[in-house]
Amino acid sequence: MEVVDVRPILAPFVSFLCAGLVFGFGRSIFWRRFFTFLAAFIKMALVLSMLPGTLQGVVYVYQFVEFTPGIGIGFRADAYGMFFSLVSSTLWVFTTIYAIGYMQGDRDRVRFFGFFALCVSTTVGVAFAENLLTFFLFYETLTICTYPLVVHAETREALRAGRIYLTYTLIGGGFALVGAVMTLNAAGTLTFAAPGILGLESGVGTLAVIFLCLIIGFGVKAAVMPLHGWLPIAMVAPTPVSALLHAVAVVKVGAFGVTRVIYNVFGVELLQQLGFATPLALLAGFTIVAASTIALTQDHLKRRLAYSTISQLSYIVLGAALLTPLAATAAVLHIANQAFAKITMFFVVGAITRTTGKKYVSEIDGIGARMPWSMAAFTIASLSFVGVPLTAGFITKWYLALGALEADAWWFVLVLIASSLLNAGYFFPILHRAYFRPAKEPWPPLEPGRHFETPKTLLIPIVICAAYVLLLGVTAEVPGMPGSVAQVAVESFFAPRGVGP
């Protein structure tokens, strides 16, 4: 049931406004923080206000401007878009708190927080995009807005990383644009529709090219191999940016795009007839294992997390490419599960660096004693990635494996098992070092006047996000939690043509 409502457009635009205010009034610490928080909170409030409706199957739409009939900028908050924006808006609040603490004393904070707020807005714009054009618009804008954050440090290394990042993402954007244009040409419309908008009548060749272009286009940000090269290099950015890029905004937007293409542009039925999803699934499977293998060899903490992210993102792609309801549930849920767990890890790594200056796995022996809460959070997140029951990651693993069986592709279960073991292989040694080895040299003591192992602004998001990982693991069936929204979304993907929005 569709309802015209201004909130889907209000959410991104209010944040845009706040971003502008950050740029304008940012010299004052108070106003800068105020508007940054305002952007995050308003977004979250708006999204939450639409949640009850979404759970009942209401879809909020708002047409902004039309170029010609069928092509325009439109916003539509369906269950899947709500899911994504819920996740991203929740995480934004925490990332903001963390960023404020982390960037204290750093330079160019007006620029940083201004673009930070802009990224908030564009992500929500992507989530609520009604058609491929709007999606593309915000997708590319996100690229532009994240660039200054990546090169924030302004060192040669950072600029180089920024160039590589832009090259990958803009070329990907080019492919996405071509794909979108071809879709319009073939389908006559760009509006996402639950059973897809393309049909066999466009010819297999054309459809193949469209699929390739769109998947490459969005796959760059989703770090599907071999398009993943930018991600480890972009680790040079400050940790809040890495957390943002790798848990919430950029990579998830890519994965979100890939799933939108599969479910809402092509549609499950068409892809099953065409068989395009199989190579994609195989590629995702390969990425899952290969990226985890590379992660084993990384000593730099953030790089290890980067490769882990690449691997985990392909869970989402795999889930979508399997084209079954259970696998789809896994794909959607993993957007949230991966986000919370990965962001916890990045937060912890950032806290470690801020507190002790250490950045490498080989340097953090015994840190469990100095930073127990942070390492406890890291442990929980690690367990989630390995897929230990009662954590969020187990739910994903469960659904994805069942989805693979449902799709008669049991070998992917082996891929998942291998991936879990690999995850254990590169996370458990970190835990072992942290807890079971003595420190090589004494840790810096607590600063005078501080009671906690690391500043509160860093610790609170860590603890809350880790708690959330556990929460997601046990509340999959509780109404109102992400699991229920995901189920509404999955139902819409697999509804037969002509049924409902």
Q: Are 175 and 257 in contact (CB under 8 A)?
A: no
Q: Which of 461, 77, 80, 45 is nearest to 252 (CA)?
A: 80
Whose tokens are 């989402």? That residue is: 316
Q: Which of 72, 199, 229, 501 is in the footprint of another protein by CB under 8 A?
A: 72
Which among 174-182, 242-250, 335-343, 347-355 is the span making contact with another protein, rule CB under 8 A?
Answer: 174-182
In the shown chain, the binding pattern of residues 117 to 136 toward another protein, with x for contact by CB under 8 A and - for none, equals ----------------x--x
Exposure string (b/e) for 9-22, b if CB count within 10 Å is 16 or more? Answer: bbbbbbbbbbbbbb
% helix / strand / coil in the chain, to the nearest 5? 75, 5, 20
Q: Which of 49, 185, 297, 362 is in the footprint of another protein by CB under 8 A?
A: 185
Q: Are 314 and 258 in contact (CB under 8 A)?
A: no
The distance of closest approach from Cβ of residue 93 to another protein in the complex, given in angstroms and rounded to an integer, is 26
The distance of closest approach from Cβ of residue 471 to another protein in the complex, given in angstroms and rounded to an integer, is 12
Catalogue the E-assigned strands of 12-132: 59-68, 71-77
**Which residue lies nearer to another protein by CB, 389 or 480?**
389
Does 164 sit near another protein (CB under 8 A)?
A: no
Q: Which of 18, 49, 43 is nearest to 31 (CA)?
A: 18
Does 465 sit near another protein (CB under 8 A)?
A: no
**Which residue lies nearer to another protein by CB, 22 or 383?**
383
The distance of closest approach from Cβ of residue 315 to another protein in the complex, given in angstroms and rounded to an integer, is 15
Q: Which two structure tokens, joined as six digits, stand for 155?
A: 């060192």
- Residue 4 φ then ψ, to 5°: -80, 125
Q: Which of 12, 162, 319, 350 is in the footprint of another protein by CB under 8 A?
A: 162
**Which residue lies nearer to another protein by CB, 91 or 253?**
253
The distance of closest approach from Cβ of residue 328 to another protein in the complex, given in angstroms and rounded to an integer, is 14
Count residues binding another protein (CB under 8 A): 65
Report the C-alpha gap between 97 and 36 in whole angstroms.
10
Q: Are 272 and 322 in contact (CB under 8 A)?
A: no
Exposure string (b/e) for 303-337, b if CB count within 10 Å is 16 or more? Answer: bbbbbbbbbbbbbbbbbbbbbbbbbbbbbbbbbbb
The distance of closest approach from Cβ of residue 94 to another protein in the complex, given in angstroms and rounded to an integer, is 25
Does 478 sit near another protein (CB under 8 A)?
A: yes
Q: Which of 148, 219, 285, 482 is in the footprint of another protein by CB under 8 A?
A: 148
- Residue 90 φ then ψ, to 5°: -65, -50
CA-based radius of gyration for the chain: 21
Report the C-alpha gap between 30 and 13 in whole angstroms.
22
Report the C-alpha gap between 492 and 79 in whole angstroms.
8
Q: Which of 389, 444, 480, 500 is in the footprint of another protein by CB under 8 A?
A: 389
> Which residues touch 354 (CB under 8 Å, ≥6 apart)?
102, 454, 455, 458
The distance of closest approach from Cβ of residue 282 to another protein in the complex, given in angstroms and rounded to an integer, is 20
Q: Which of 75, 484, 80 is nearest to 258 (CA)?
A: 80
**Which residue lies nearer to another protein by CB, 98 or 399?**
399
- In angstroms, the Cα distances linking 240 to 112, 235, 243, 358, 414 are 11, 11, 5, 16, 34
Q: Which two structure tokens, joined as six digits, stand for 449?
A: 């006047």
The distance of closest approach from Cβ of residue 29 to another protein in the complex, given in angstroms and rounded to an integer, is 19
**Which residue lies nearer to another protein by CB, 91 or 485?**
485
Does 296 sit near another protein (CB under 8 A)?
A: no
**DSSP at 236:** G
The distance of closest approach from Cβ of residue 202 to another protein in the complex, given in angstroms and rounded to an integer, is 11
Does 58 sit near another protein (CB under 8 A)?
A: no
Instruction: Show contacts with another protein in window 341-370 (CB under 8 A).
Output: 369
Instruction: Show contacts with another protein in window 25-54 (CB under 8 A).
Output: none
Residues in the chain: 501
Whose tokens are 């297999």? That residue is: 204
The distance of closest approach from Cβ of residue 117 to another protein in the complex, given in angstroms and rounded to an integer, is 16
In the shown chain, the binding pattern of residues 413 to 432 toward another protein, with x for contact by CB under 8 A and - for none, equals xx--x--xx--x---x---x
Q: Which of 100, 214, 348, 401 is in the footprint of another protein by CB under 8 A?
A: 401
Instruction: Show contacts with another protein in window 190-219 (CB under 8 A).
Output: 209
Q: Are 150 and 234 in contact (CB under 8 A)?
A: yes
Which among 222-230, 286-294, 298-306, 411-419 is the span making contact with another protein, rule CB under 8 A?
Answer: 411-419
Which among 31-39, 194-202, 313-321, 410-418 is the span making contact with another protein, rule CB under 8 A?
Answer: 410-418
The distance of Cα 324 from the centroid of its chain, to the nearest Å, equals 22
**DSSP at 292:** H
Q: Which of 2, 154, 157, 299 is in the footprint of another protein by CB under 8 A?
A: 154
Residue numbers at the binding site for another protein (CB under 8 A): 65-68, 72-73, 133, 136-138, 140-141, 143-144, 148, 151, 154, 158-159, 162-163, 166, 170-171, 173-175, 177-178, 181-182, 184-185, 209, 369, 383, 386-390, 395, 397-399, 401-402, 405-406, 413-414, 417, 420-421, 424, 428, 432, 435-437, 474, 476-478, 487
